[in-house]
Amino acid sequence: MESAYKLYNYALTLRPINAFTPPDGLIRVEANPKETEELYGINAQHGIAIYPFLIEQAKRVDYGMPVLLSDSQTDILVDVVLEGMKLDRIEDYLFEIGDTQIRKSFMARIYGLTQNSMLVANEDKFLAALAQRVTIRKKPFAKGVAQ
């Protein structure tokens, strides 16, 4: 029963599923819905491959299969960002995120961390989740906290 586990959608940007597409475990391939380009800004010209697990980043990059993270999966990218960037730098960006150019720059930097192998459908929800996690991580180090 498919719904018993988490599913990951991958845009097939370079080639259709074939012998050179990673790994075993493919559940199905769906046609490229027009919404994919509208939501993620990417053309999955060979469809969407659905797997029951997250394929490692190097393989996603090699095969041109960025994972299309749903709203409920944005924590995956939040974890990558928190591992790859300093909290103070993230806070600087989040403080200025209302500026369109800063937002674009920040998202480009985030996608650079994953070599464009992870894309989110809803940047606003992703940024809110990131801000919440940054706040939670910073709380124990707040000034004036009794030790």
The 10s digit of each residue's pLDDT in 75-84 is: 999 999 999 9
101: confidence class by pLDDT, cuts 50, 70, 90: very high
Q: What pLDDT score was predicted for residue 79? A: 92
- In percent, how much of the chain has pLDDT > 90? 36
Q: Is residue 35 scored above 90 in pLDDT?
A: no
Q: What pLDDT score was predicted for residue 49? A: 93
Residue (of 76, 65, 64) closest to 130 by Cα position: 76
Residue ranges of E strands in 1-147: 8-11, 28-30, 48-51, 67-69, 118-120
Strands 8-11 and 28-30: unpaired
Question: What number is the average pLDDT over the span 14-26?
Answer: 81
The 10s digit of each residue's pLDDT in 114-129 is: 998 999 988 888 999 9
Range name among 32-36, 102-106, 138-142 with the lowest pLDDT average: 138-142
5: confidence class by pLDDT, cuts 50, 70, 90: low
The 10s digit of each residue's pLDDT in 36-71 is: 888 888 888 889 999 999 998 888 988 889 999 988
Q: Is residue 10 scored above 90 in pLDDT?
A: yes
Q: What is the DSSP letter of 98?
A: T
Cβ atoms of 78 and 128 closer than 8 Å: no
